[in-house]
Structure 1
Amino acid sequence: MADPGTRRRRPPATADRFDGWRVVALLAAVLTLGVGITFYGLSVYLSALTRDDDGFTLTTVSVATSAFLVVAGVAGLPVGWLLERHDARAVLVGGLVASALAVLAVGQVRDPAQLVAAYGVLGVGFAAISVIPVSRVLAAWFVRRRARAMSVAFLGLPVGGAVVTPVVAALVERHGVAGASPFLAAALLLVAVPLCLLVQPDPARVGQRADGAAPVAEPDPAAAPAGGVPLAEAVRTPWFVTVTVALTLGMLSQLGALSHLYNAVAETSGVSTAAAVVSLLAAASLAGRIVGTWVFERVALAHATVALLLLQSGALVCFAVAPGRAAVLAATVAFGVSMGNMQVLQPLLIAERFGTRDFSRILARGNLAVMLGMAAGPVAVGVLHDAAGGYPTAYVAAAVPALLGAVLMAWASRSPVPSGLTHPDPS
């Protein structure tokens, strides 16, 4: 029986109120600002840090960028552990503080070791403010409408790149990285942190239930175990291994092609087409995410993943073998649509398969592999370009991992839930 003092402190049931969409909006805003300054800001910092004669070499900054991705993947493991034991707001705020300190440090670095260290701290901050914590909070608030909620919240990723990163670029262009970093750190601390503090990470704490269902009398979430599969069981299933490998191959292909896209199109189709591709890609990515909010509620997630991986593979082949402007722009739209939706699929697939019991830690394991694939992608395409003497062969090769990922996902889609595992949360 619940302690009487605890009973008095519990918020009253609010059957006529549902704050889930407010939480979605707040998290989308945090992603917009945080990811715009950290992840998407990396390309801006790269340009500024390598521009001067006494600046860093391109290789040094590229190594630091890879360190950011690797550390972000590894840091996801403790982030997932913390999310299962502490308030998600504490994790988000800690990530924003780490990101702010790292941005300040990037403006003051003087040697390669300092730069790699600063990017490593930035990777830790990014892990604590992006996919894993946002997915964990939304998995608690939504079941039936989880795909829509996550798709809407993750609109903050492309919006951050389209809206926040140009502001970052303007500040860096005017003041340099050292001069711009205090403004960027202040935005993270004075704008994003208050937004995080407004997020309610658990509907039960405010007398609500997932998807706005009527709350039961005197809800006591501590009295019942969370629904879902424990970490040790989940990560040993063939389904988890297969899907993780498939998504890792897809993101290796995607980020490898994306990081070289401007140069690749400029090399085969000219600078004017390359400039058009950059703008069109952002628009297609955003449009793809918006369409995904509708599609993912109506199409099996595994089947949607197969279709997106095939679309991505076909787009990369088109870039390689059809250099005409019309074909390149069509390939850009296809690539943008696939790119806009791939990142949201991993948390959706894991939540659908394993429920919320150890969701954060299961997602962190899969996310680590995906982040390592992302870190390897740009290097792989660069090596293939140098070996083949051009991008066409490199892009055909980059299409192969996405195609293999589609085959693996098609196989995984046929795998039934193993007997003895708890099904995801009931709607």
Structure 2
Amino acid sequence: MIAATGVDESSLHYRGWRVVLACFLMAFFMFGFGLYGQGVYLAELQRAHGWPGTLVSGTSTFSFLLTSILVIFTDDLLARIGLRALILCGLTALGASTALLGLMQAPWQLYLAYALMSVGWTGMGTVVIATVLNSWFERRRGLALSLAFNGATCGGIVLVPVLLALSGSIGFRSAMLGATVVMVVLVLPVVVVFTGWPVDTSLKSAAGASGGNDARHSRRALLTNAQFWTMVLPIAIALLAQMGFIIHQVTFLEPLIGRASAGLAVTIMAAMAVVGRLSLGLFVDRLDPRLACAASMTSQAAALLVLLQSQSPSVLLACCAAYGFSIGNMITFPPLIIQREIGSTAFAAAMGLGTSISGIVSAFGPGIVGLVRSVSGDYTMAFAMCVVLDIVAAGVVLWRPGRGTEKRNLSPSP
């Protein structure tokens, strides 16, 4: 049972909402710099140094795979160095990464910058955010997660255009250094003042780890548990399809509606992701998260299916809006399902392991969609494959093996 039980989580005076603000800012800069900003780095580094696109994009893949490995050990790090220290390490690593991206002169520095970015993901990414909010909220957990993770989408909507505008006016180097300073000035005091566990929540119960041996035991237990896999696999499959569509969206739409309208479609999709998270957050705590997750996957499949059948600009934009409505929720559902079915003791271990698996699987999405498109000659078969993947994922997430199993069976043994 979390420490928030018995307090008024709806009150604006509840300290947990200040923790949500800190998590929002962490997600804003982590996703803004670490995910959405990578398209800016690709273009600017090629322009500044003449490096081939394969070098820059290859280091992006390296960073995502390294991140997927490091997040497995989030629970160990929380137990050993503590929440605030882990976040500050993540902030320091991300700041060093973004500053180095602006200052670098040699290709090897690119790998160092992206390795530091992976450390940033470990300290400021979804696993840490979900774990700390899980300890602060029970009745309003879904709303808290939705608000915090909206920082991720807002980072893409706000930070990327700002970086592009600043790069054009003052140069990429100055833009990255200036944005890094702003991040540290905004995030550092908020993290120091607001983040922490609830007063009567021990690190063992909040982080889900009482030491390295128990954490490893927890991960071993999760890997042999069917409930865990019926949550992780469908999320991974859905994210694979989602990443594939997002990366190829502009290439698909541009011949049909033009470059400007294709860019508008991306903006609409991102904006609808914010609306979707906020809308779901208002009532998700009263829903079965598996049913809501299956509904979101099905809605994405339906949006893609209609997208393939139409060439009308208004219909295509509407499909992108409908697809975007569920995009952000794919990272909101896992912590809700984990808390309900696995519990708090193994929460961080389950989030770290699940995020790692999903990250590795979804990383292949753009490549698989591109391969199918190359073999078939257009995007019809590629996006039809994404439709099938979403439907399969929706079916798997509804499967509830061992429904009567106690949560404690998935937790570390005493």
State the TM-score, normalizing by the size of structure 1: 0.85
One-letter code aligned to 1:242 = T
Pair member with larger Rg:
1
1:157 equivalent among 152, 173, 177: 152
Residues 1:153 and 1:421: Cα distance change in structure 2 (over 3 Å): same
Residues 1:353 and 1:224: Cα distance change in structure 2 (over 3 Å): closer
Is 1:183–2:185 an aligned residue pair? no
**How is 1:207-356 mapped onto 2 (pairs within 5 angstroms)?**
221=202, 230-356=218-344
One-letter code aligned to 2:33 = I
Range with bigger deviation, 230-239 or 321-330: 230-239
Residues 1:227 and 1:44: Cα distance change in structure 2 (over 3 Å): closer
Is 1:137–2:132 an aligned residue pair? yes
**Shift in Å, 1:256:** 1.0
Superposition RMSD in Å: 2.7
8 Å Cα contact 1:351-1:359 kept in structure 2: yes
1:416 equivalent among 391, 397, 403: 403
State the TM-score, normalizing by the size of structure 2: 0.88
The percent identity for this pair of structures is: 26
Q: Give ranges in structure 1 of 5+ residues lacking alignment.
A: 1-12, 210-220
Q: Distance in 1 between matches of 2:78 and 2:47?
A: 40
Residues 1:224 and 1:350: Cα distance change in structure 2 (over 3 Å): closer
One-letter code aligned to 1:397 = M
Q: Distance in 1 between matches of 2:131 and 2:385?
A: 35
8 Å Cα contact 1:84-1:360 kept in structure 2: no
Q: Distance in 1 between matches of 2:308 and 2:33?
A: 32
Match of 1:24 in 2: 20
Residues 1:39 and 1:420: Cα distance change in structure 2 (over 3 Å): closer
Q: Give the secondary structure class of the aligned counterpart of 2:199.
A: helix
1:33 equivalent among 29, 38, 51: 29
Range with bigger deviation, 379-388 or 225-234: 225-234
Match of 2:212 in 1: none
Q: Distance in 2 between matches of 1:133 and 1:365?
A: 13
**Shift in Å, 1:225:** 9.9
Q: Distance in 1 between matches of 2:308 and 2:147?
A: 33
2:42 equivalent among 35, 43, 46: 46
Q: Give the secondary structure class of the aligned counterpart of 1:258.
A: helix
**Shift in Å, 1:26:** 2.1
Q: Distance in 1 between matches of 2:146 and 2:50?
A: 39
Considering fraction of residues, name the structure with more helix.
2
1:406 equivalent among 370, 391, 394: 394
Residues 1:404 and 1:24: Cα distance change in structure 2 (over 3 Å): same
Match of 2:214 in 1: none
Q: Deviations over 1:273-329 (max 9, x none)?
A: 312212211221111011011231222000011011111122222222322212212
8 Å Cα contact 1:250-1:402 kept in structure 2: yes
Q: Distance in 2 between matches of 1:387 and 1:419?
A: 48
Match of 1:217 in 2: none
Q: Distance in 1 between matches of 2:171 and 2:59?
A: 19
**Shift in Å, 1:224:** 8.5
**Shift in Å, 1:167:** 1.6
8 Å Cα contact 2:219-2:353 kept in structure 1: no
Q: Distance in 1 between matches of 2:261 and 2:407?
A: 55
One-letter code aligned to 1:195 = V
Q: Deviations over 1:115-141 (max 9, x none)?
A: 233222212212321211111111111
Match of 1:146 in 2: 141
8 Å Cα contact 2:222-2:410 kept in structure 1: no
Q: Distance in 1 between matches of 2:122 and 2:195?
A: 20
Q: Distance in 2 between matches of 1:123 and 1:315?
A: 33
**Shift in Å, 1:230:** 4.2
Q: Distance in 2 between matches of 1:62 and 1:147?
A: 34
**Shift in Å, 1:112:** 4.2
One-letter code aligned to 1:368 = S
Q: Give the secondary structure class of the aligned counterpart of 1:202.
A: coil
8 Å Cα contact 1:249-1:401 kept in structure 2: yes
